[in-house]
């Protein structure tokens, strides 16, 4: 009967320790607050990048317009996407009527993108743009699209 307990303990250690370690690794490093309606599009982009880098993926998801976008990361993502060396470039308004939103802006940035799907090697000064939308100034900006170009 002792061998049964030893085997059970060994199986628990082999399974529980790695899964527990992965869970601890995947937890957010910090909780980033959601931006308010007073936050500018640049502030929203900076908060989004901070949330991504702090592995607060639930906030990243809530900062996006709910259209099925996924940042491709969760608590089990060991090499989670992150952005370093973020530099804000131009901020320009989109032509009204292109989207079903009253306000739409694009924030151009350059950054080093790490562990992004489709990018095998991170390159410094990679151009990356964020499109943000909202219905009116009483609503916070949300990210509807991001990528190159």
Give 16's pLDDT tier (boundaries 50, 70, 90). Answer: confident
SS3 content of the chain, % helix, strand, coil (to 5): 30, 25, 45
Q: In the chain, what are the domain boundaries?
A: 2-147
Q: Return d(Cα 21, Cα 141) in angstroms, integer.
A: 36
Give 122's pLDDT tier (boundaries 50, 70, 90). Answer: confident
pLDDT greater at residue 44 or residue 103: 44
Contact predicate 73/80, CB 8 Å: yes
Bridge partners (DSSP) of residue 129 are 108, 147
∠ CA 63-69-70, nearest 5°, is: 85
Bridge partners (DSSP) of residue 133 are 104, 142
Predicted confidence (pLDDT) per residue in 62-100, tens digit: 898 865 455 555 545 566 778 889 999 999 988 766 667
Q: Which of 16-30, 91-105, 122-136 has the highest mean pLDDT?
A: 122-136
On the question of pLDDT at 20 being above 80, the answer is: no
- Mean of pLDDT values over 50-57: 89
Q: What percent of the chain has pLDDT over 90?
A: 32
The values of phi and psi at residue 148, to 5°, are: -90, 140
2-147: CATH topology is Nuclear Transport Factor 2; Chain: A, (3.10.450)
118 class by beta-carbon count within 10 Å (0-12 exposed, 13-18 middle, 19+ buried): exposed
When the pLDDT of each residue in the chain is averaged and rounded to a whole number, the result is: 82
Contact predicate 142/128, CB 8 Å: no
On the question of pLDDT at 134 being above 70, the answer is: yes
pLDDT, residue 98, reads 65
């Amino acid at each position: 009967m002792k061998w049964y307990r030893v085997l059970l303990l060994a199986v628990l250690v082999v399974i529980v320790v790695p899964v527990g370690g992965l869970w601890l690794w995947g937890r957010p490093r910090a909780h980033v607050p959601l931006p308010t309606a007073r936050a500018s599009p640049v502030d929203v982009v900076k908060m989004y990048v901070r949330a991504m880098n702090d592995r607060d993926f639930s906030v990243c998801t809530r900062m996006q317009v709910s259209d099925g976008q996924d940042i491709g990361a969760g608590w089990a993502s060991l090499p989670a996407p992150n952005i370093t060396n973020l530099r804000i470039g131009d901020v320009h308004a989109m032509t009204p009527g292109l989207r079903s939103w009253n306000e739409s802006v694009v924030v151009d940035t350059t950054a080093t993108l790490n562990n992004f799907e489709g990018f095998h090697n991170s390159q410094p000064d990679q151009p990356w743009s964020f499109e943000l939308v909202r219905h009116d100034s009483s609503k916070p900006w949300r990210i509807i699209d991001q990528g190159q170009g």
